[in-house]
Structure 1
Amino acid sequence: MTSLRHRFRNVVTSEEELRTVVGQPPERSVAKVIQIIDEYARRFIAHAPFVFVASAGADGMVDVSPKGDPVGFVKVLDDRTLAIPDRLGNRRLDTLRNVLINPNIGLIFVIPGVTYTLRVSGRAIIVRDLELRETLAVNQKLPDHVLVVDVLHVLSHCPKCMVRSGLWQPDAWPDTSGLPSFAEMLVAHGKLAQTVEEMQAIIDSGNRERLY
């Protein structure tokens, strides 16, 4: 961090400096934070097929993991509790390992075509209760683990970032012709012995056979 600061001349180090430039938030931005999953938050979560989950390990390193499933896959157990199924993946278990050490997590729920998002912060535990896992089954396949979140803060996030990015506007989407494939990145970053074609076949097989 020290070496990074040496690269720049004007580094902000206090909230006072931030406020001098930006000013204070309007009252509505402060008042919109609630401590429960109310009717409006429930309706948003019920329509969301995608959520970003942020967690941090013992060393403070922050990880953000995307989770996606059929619409409404995150279950509202009550107005203070959410349940997020952990589906088959790469077995890194970054989020779950972090939660074992540091229970604090943050969530951003995303709905395609909707320009605002829902942010939730809280503390999580990992559970394997059969009854709960059964309610989260897809194609009769149960998740091995469920991330259960004790909700502390809930707030809606304004549309500006979505509007600026043109995320839901196909005409604004970038040209991806020069984008490396997932297989190319895996082979390059992992220095793997497989060819890109072989890795692509592995990925395609996993997408067909290991979704649940």
Structure 2
Amino acid sequence: MATTEIKTLDQLRELTGEPAERAKRKIIDRIDDHARTLIAHSPLVLLATASAEGTCDVSPRGDPAGSVLVLDDQTLVIADRPGNKLHDSLTNIIVNPHVGLLFVVPAMNETLRVNGRAKLVSDAPFFESLVVKGKRPDLAIVVEVQQLYMHCAKAFLRSGLWNQETWPDRATLPTLGTIFKDQIADLPVTAEELDASLEERNRTLQY
């Protein structure tokens, strides 16, 4: 069966139509009171970045709700916590400051989308407000907001994300240790040993 590829904007619009006027008008250029409320209640934000060549990356950023700072109507700050040190997002931001954010609030099907320009900072007066469990981050991501808007509930409703009846039995899924063992050649440890090490790292989560 032949594949029909959409290659132009005209083809796309002919197939899907134009956005409604309300959809276009919902995009604002500032952090309003409603956005502040949602950001304050969001413990998870997805950070999308791209390299200079256009290679994209999406990274989850999690902290206790309220940890993302809103400095003013145009600026928010996300602490960078310890990770695997690949620094995909951070290296992308250095060469290409354009970022996209998706704020998720537990049990809420709507999400908050933010597009803007980011920079990395290693010190600023607000760093003391980024301390969690006594740990001050080495870096923070400062985002200048250019677009902000609400994303409707359809994706979360279709996925049934918050409906526990749709959740798979965790025992039927591979453990991370099993995945690493299969994907990384010549690991000198067993999947069980990897799982035990990962469980210990999670138990003593570092900030």
Q: What's the TM-score bracket when you normalise by the shorter of the two chains?
A: over 0.9
2:69 to 75, 84, 87: 75
Q: Tell whether 2:154 aligns with 1:160.
A: yes
Q: Which residue matches 2:189?
A: 194
Kindly provide the amino acid, as one letter, of the partner of residue 158 in structure 1.
C
2:58 maps to 64
SS at match of 2:200: helix
Deviations 1:100-156 (A, max 9, x none): 111111000001100000000111110011532221001111111000001100010
Gaps of 5+ in 1: 1-6
The percentage of counterpart residues that share the same residue type is 44
Separation (CA, whole Å) in 2 of partners of 1:8 and 1:107: 36
Residue 15 of structure 1 corresponds to 9
Residue 103 of structure 2 is aligned to residue 98 of structure 1: no
Residue in 2 that maps onto 1:116 = 110
Deviates more, 1:201-210 or 1:120-129: 201-210
Range that drifts further, 39-48 or 201-210: 201-210
| Corresponding residue for residue 135 of structure 1 | 129
Letter in 2 for 1:34: I
> Which one of the candidate residues 151, 174, 177 is aligned to 1:180?
174
- Of 191, 204, 209, the residue aligned with 2:204 is 209
Q: 1:199 to 1:24 in 2, by over 3 A?
A: same
User: Aligned pairs, how many?
Assistant: 206
Q: Distance in 2 between matches of 1:128 and 1:167?
A: 36
Residue 189 of structure 2 aligns with an amino acid whose one-letter code is: Q
RMSD, matched Cα: 1.4
Higher mean displacement: 126-135 or 44-53: 126-135
Task: State the SS of the aligned residue for 1:113.
Answer: coil
Q: Which amino acid aligns with 2:200?
A: S
Cα-to-partner distance string for 1:137-182 (whole Å, 9 max, x where unaligned):
0111111100000110001000000110000111122344331111
Alpha-carbon separation, structure 2, partners of 1:165 and 1:8: 29
